[in-house]
Amino acid sequence: MIFNICAAIFGVSLLTATEGALSWLLVVLGIGFLIFVHELGHFLAAKYEKVRVEAFALGFGPAIISKRWGNTDYRINWIPLGGYVKMAGELPGEISGEDGLMSKTPGQRARILSAGVIMNGIFGIIGTILAFHIGIHFIVPTIGLVQQGSPAWQSGLERGDKVLEVNQEKISSFTDLFVAIAFSNEEKGVNLKIQRGNEVFDCLVQPKYNEARGIQTIGIAPHLLSELKAPKNSTAYQAGLRDGDTIKKIDNVEVEDGYDVEQLLASSQKKEIEITIDRKGQEKTILWSPPTRKTYRIGILSRQVKIDSVRQSTLVKGKAVVTQAKTLGFQAGDTLISIEEEKVFTRQEFKEKLEKISGKGNMYILRGGEELAISLNLTSIDSFVADFSFSADLYVGEVLQDYPAAEHLKAGDKLISANGLALHSFSDIFSAVQDAQSTPIEFVYLRGDQEYKATVQPKEIEIPIWGSLALTHALTPATSYGFKESCERGWNHTKNMVMQILLMLKGLASQQVSSKTLGGPITIFAASHSYLQLGLGRFIYFLALISINLAIVNLLPIPILDGGHLLFLAFEKITGRPVSENVMIWALYMGFLFLLFLIVYVTANDIERVFFGG
């Protein structure tokens, strides 16, 4: 239809054989093909019902190419964000003869309207079947990281656990796991079948709504390899690093996976690091200087000794075992003061001082304003430390030398205000420093019970952008299946796609899912390009997902979309008379304004996500 804007513009995002311009061209051609498939459905149905098609166009705006065959103008337009089929007599008030759209019965018009989504549905099924026949990579459903204090951490899940099933349903990728968790019942929780080494057991986890991500999560991330991606225009490539290199050491410290790499980089104060890599069985050491960005610092780190949560139990051979921290009576809200006579201001100090006394001695905490002593006799220091999740507060945990704060502040000081504005969290301090840049800031702070003031001028520094070192996720083998199994897997995955999209729409309506998860053209093109790097099978699979999106979203009862027009036809069939011209025009305008708002909104999401890390 003339106003049938491709759902790829505002698709619901659930989210290397070629490089550079060629791969981007393939992405554009792939997305363009989905639009073509959709509009071809309308076109063929219109021809079948003997409706005159005045124009068949891909894209909007002025035509790049235009050719007239018979009574139809075929066009490729400049703006590749949709497409349309213009039929005679389809607009309100438009006069046409017996070959016009409005001369046909409601049933005939419904067939024409629904043909686009049917074609996209057919491509979705064929695409997934073809993807499995070619061979397709998925991110393995193995837990690579468990966030401290998260539901997964509380339930005893560990790094390296492989998830086999979610609520008695087998899964094949981390995406399946993520989606199942996102739409699980928060009260009932999600039951995971876990493989840990040679053991297989069940684990019940209670998901929580994640404000930042706008969806339910349990606080896990997929397995991240220490294998590199080094694009030719990157500083990593210029330093001598290459695709497929596996990092073995950072500054001579051994790493096991990508998260070890990220942690070492994040804690490094250097502008140049030594990376030991394995390249096809040979070790090589390379010096790398990452790109930098300007920022401001006063040189303090937060104290992190206030207990945010205490893990109640861990899983040993599939059985819940009460943790040492729980047995000793530690509670959320406790603040660590000292171990024996030595003050504790950071998590690292906590572990170091426990090792110094071999896990045996007195530990002092603050609970409800009262100082308490807890006697320790630990069987494992590492597991004991892992049983605590700490939160940052307004107390100074460490003061860095050669920074402005070293002249005034010391560990244990509590910051109260900056330039007269009250501070509520450590992030407020960071924001105040970035806002001030090189302008002096007057801090009010407490040292013991005494209040002091200090004027500190932030220091301008260049910090490394460690995130420019790209790592890869662990992937399943790209197994090529026979025709029968490809059909079975393709059909099952298509059904799962439909359910996921419907659940996403339901989640948006119920506010279980934030609208910030919606992706627009930038996200879709970027995701398409990323999936292309995982091979042709994965790229076709992603196109099939977008095609199913296009089919379902176009069926929504929004005037201007196919679903809105089908709603008007249902009214006509029931009442025996069409919707009045005035109502039709008003509805189309409202539908157009809604879609325009949606396009602007999701594009803003794209910009925030891609350029600002939102």
**Domains, in order of start, for the chain:** 7-45+84-132+483-612 (no CATH), 143-222 (2.30.42.10), 224-296+466-472 (2.30.42.10), 301-391 (2.30.42.10), 395-457 (2.30.42.10)
Three-class secondary structure of residue 111 per DSSP: helix
How far out from the chain centre does Cα 365 lie? 38
Burial-class residue 136 by CB neighbours within 10 Å (0-12, 13-18, 19+): buried
Neighbours of 455 (CB within 10 A): 12
Provide the pLDDT for residue 298. Answer: 96
How far out from the chain centre does Cα 535 lie? 21
C-beta separation of 297 from 276 below 8 A: no
Is residue 412 pLDDT above 80, yes or no?
yes
C-beta separation of 306 from 345 below 8 A: no
* Helix, strand, coil abundance in the chain, percent, nearest 5: 40, 30, 30
- How would residue 23 be classed by pLDDT, with cut points 50, 70 and 90? low
Q: What span, in angstroms and rounded, lies between the C-alpha atoms of 26 and 215?
A: 32
Q: What span, in angstroms and rounded, lies between the C-alpha atoms of 403 and 456?
A: 10
Q: What span, in angstroms and rounded, lies between the C-alpha atoms of 584 and 235?
A: 57
Token duo for residue 86: 């213009």
Q: Which residues are catalytic?
A: 39
Query: How many residues are present in the chain?
Result: 614
Token duo for residue 12: 């619901």
Residue type, 211: E
Token duo for residue 499: 């359910």
What pLDDT digit, counting tens, does each position of 427-440 carry? 999 999 999 999 99
Provide the pLDDT for residue 33. Answer: 82
Better pLDDT: 567 or 419? 419
Token duo for residue 77: 């337009």
Q: Which of 125-134, 251-260, 530-539 shows the lowest mean pLDDT across its residues? A: 530-539
Q: What span, in angstroms and rounded, lies between the C-alpha atoms of 67 and 57?
A: 11
Mean pLDDT of 469-483: 88
Q: What span, in angstroms and rounded, lies between the C-alpha atoms of 429 and 421?
A: 10
Three-class secondary structure of residue 75 per DSSP: strand
Mean pLDDT of 5-27: 45
Provide the pLDDT for residue 171. Answer: 87
Helix or strand holding residue 339 (H, E):
strand 335-339
Token duo for residue 204: 């019940």
Neighbours of 491 (CB within 10 A): 13
Provide the pLDDT for residue 415. Answer: 96
Mean pLDDT of the residues in the chain: 84
Is residue 2 pLDDT above 50, yes or no?
no
Is residue 576 pLDDT above 90, yes or no?
no
Q: Which of 174-183, 336-345, 451-460, 591-600 shows the lowest mean pLDDT across its residues? A: 591-600
pTM, entire model: 0.75
Give the residue carrying structure tokens 């320790």.
376
Alpha-carbon distances of 464 from 253, 294, 296, rounded to whole Å: 19, 9, 13
**Kindly report the CA angle at 360 between 358 and 364, in degrees rounded to 5?**
115
Is residue 140 pLDDT above 90, yes or no?
yes
Q: Which of 119-128, 380-389, 461-470, 543-552 shows the lowest mean pLDDT across its residues? A: 461-470
Q: Which of 150-159, 245-254, 420-429, 545-554 shows the lowest mean pLDDT across its residues? A: 545-554
Neighbours of 179 (CB within 10 A): 21
Better pLDDT: 184 or 219? 219
C-beta separation of 1 from 46 below 8 A: no
- How would residue 613 be classed by pLDDT, with cut points 50, 70 and 90? very low
Is residue 604 pLDDT above 80, yes or no?
no
Provide the pLDDT for residue 351. Answer: 93
